[in-house]
Structure 1
Amino acid sequence: MTRLLVASRNAKKLAEMRRILAGAGVEVVGLDEVPPFPEAPETGATFEDNAVAKARDAAAETGLPAVADDSGLAVDALNGMPGVFSARWAGRTRSDEANLRLVLEQVADVPDERLTASFVCASALVLPDSTEIIVRGEWPGRLVREPRGGNGFGYDPIFVPEGETRTSAELTSAEKDAISHRGRALQLLLPHLRTLSRP
């Protein structure tokens, strides 16, 4: 089975990607399962910039086909922020909880009807022959004022997907994988990943 390197050390993200890619016919490995190499900081202006830079580095350093994604929360009332800064919105060493609380503080005076937001995920697949495929998934919804639910990570506890009353953190893993921004992006990559496992 072809090994596919997911350029991430985030255990929750890796578990999510392994579930979504279970039918792709590839063995998903993370950065902690390959020899270490220098990882460039995320300095891109867009999710796509960051995703493809990480995937290029991973493929070049390991010789494996590599997938990387960059994802985040885009809040309309904050002009699309935190966006590419989602993981470090409250500072580089801050936690998911601190990031989430800062967003809630920043929208405290925004009326409920204007708390629209989307999760965005750009995924890049880079092959050893330098082929690059970049896709994007978006998951529209709205914010709630207090976190709810214990599933998921990041901003999931304050994000209610369009058509739902539950937060992303209240959905089961299977429900979330089927409709999330990462699930949508990876579904677009699946046809390309399946070709890797063909003789």
Structure 2
Amino acid sequence: MRFFTVFSFFAIVICATTGQHCTTSPSNVPKTWIDMVSPCVQSVRAQIQEEMNASMKYLAMGAHFSRDTINRPGFAKLFFKAASEEREHAIKLINYLLMRGELVSNVSKLIKTTINVPNTYWKSGTAALEDALETEAYVTKKIRSVIASCDNPNDGSGFIDYHLSDYLTGDFLDEQYKGQKELADKLSQLQKLMGKHGHLGEFLFDKKLL
């Protein structure tokens, strides 16, 4: 086994350094284990794009609050973390499709190369938190739509994907609802601080986020 592993490694290195195309014969694995229906698959693929859109938006937020003229490191930390979490969600969905044998074609079209972020400026931390809460609510709604399409596919198959529905409900929706509550709490705290201390309240809240 160790000899085979070493041999494979050197074979890959030789192909990479010499520019040769190393190909293997395609496998002939039975397809009977693949049972996801097309509407469900397409919904999951679309959700991967939604997660990446949210990730890019949070990256823009993190970059905005990192600017020297804004200088809110606490907010930047919060949104950069959120960007990583959304990216992890996309990876989870990709891995799920791989597990179900459904990520075998059109992989290059899975993520759009150009992702539009409609807003790259937020006038305050309050505005950013409100935008983030709206974003999470939108993503939650889209996840529920994926579950609906997998519970009631419109292809006439009548196949109910219990496993995917349970996975999205127990893992994704649980995290979404907790995240929404956390953002709502932060927004409430910030509004109270700013109501009492004005712009100093945002400065104090930013330090708290650190």
Question: Which one has the largest radius of gyration?
Answer: 2
- Assess same fold via TM > 0.5: no
Structure holding more helix per residue: 2
Question: TM-score scaled to structure 2, two decimals?
Answer: 0.24
Question: TM-score scaled to structure 1, two decimals?
Answer: 0.25
Higher RCO by CA contacts (8 Å cutoff, separation 6 or greater) = 2
